Amino acid sequence: MIEIRSDVLLPSEREPIVLTTEDGFRLVGELALPMNGAPTATLITLHPLPTHGGFMDSHVFRKAANRLPEMANLAVLRFNTRGTESPHGRSEGRFEQGIGEAADLRAAVDFARSRNLPNLWLVGWSFGTELALKYGADQPVVGAILLAPPLHRATQEEVDSWSNNGKQLLVLVPEFDDYLIPDQAKARFASVEQAEVIGIDGAKHLWVGENATSRVLNEIVRLVNPTAYPLPKTWPDLVS
């Protein structure tokens, strides 16, 4: 058995991908799929603010891609928004303050649909939650999962647009977040009847530490593939 910890890498089919936006930019990314059979659901991840170190390899999303295809039968699509660079490469274009990035989100959803990936979910972290809230309400997704939303760019009207729109909304808020704490988040999302707002005790905006990461991944799996919840703390060693 292997212990599930920060650096664990479980088997998956990993494919470098390129997304092409409607305004002509090529975005680098990766699609991680279960080794055997079709995935149950698909996570389209939207990374934190690139001007503050956010990219597709930000640790929560990297760990999701490393673990969840095998442990929860999920597809995990990661990509760098326009102008963002990570160890996977640099996407064309430049950072556009969350405005031009609307086309990046649509390109990711279009790619997932072109590959017939099932049950699409947007999973945003920090800046990525703003993109999900602003541009995801009318997309063909099951719902959105928001990790530490700052609500700097997303207006209250854009939050309200999720009210009874037929899409699920899960909001995970660190107890010690730098921007929006749980009680404030519950007030800001009160207009969205179907929103589930959960405060995560002891956590901070960057979700540092295995306990915080594990809680986030478990909450994602609880919603998108409950048959795989809770995630185990160890996994069979598949290396021969």
What residue numbers bound the domain in which 197 lies? 2-235
**Alpha carbons 181 and 235: distance in angstroms, whole number:** 34
* Cα distance between residue 209 and residue 174, in whole Å: 13
- CATH label of the domain that carries residue 217: 3.40.50.1820
Q: 125 lies in a domain? A: yes
Asked if residue 229 is part of any domain, the answer here is yes
Categorize the per-residue pLDDT at 237 as very low, low, confident or very high, splitting at 50, 70 and 90: confident
54 assigned to some structural domain: yes
Half-sphere exposure of 185 (CA within 13 A, CB side): 27
Angle at 103 between CA 98 and CA 54, to 5 degrees: 45
pTM of structure: 0.97
223 domain-assigned = yes
The count of domains in the chain is 1
Side-chain-side CA neighbours of 226 within 13 Å: the count stands at: 1
Position 240 in a domain: no
pLDDT tens track for 38-69: 999 999 999 999 999 999 999 999 999 999 99
On whether residue 22 sits in a domain, the answer given is yes
Question: Cα(78)–Cα(32) distance, rounded to whole angstroms?
Answer: 8
Could you read off the pLDDT of 207-226 as tens digits, one per residue? 999 999 999 999 999 999 99
Residue 70 has pLDDT above 60, yes or no: yes
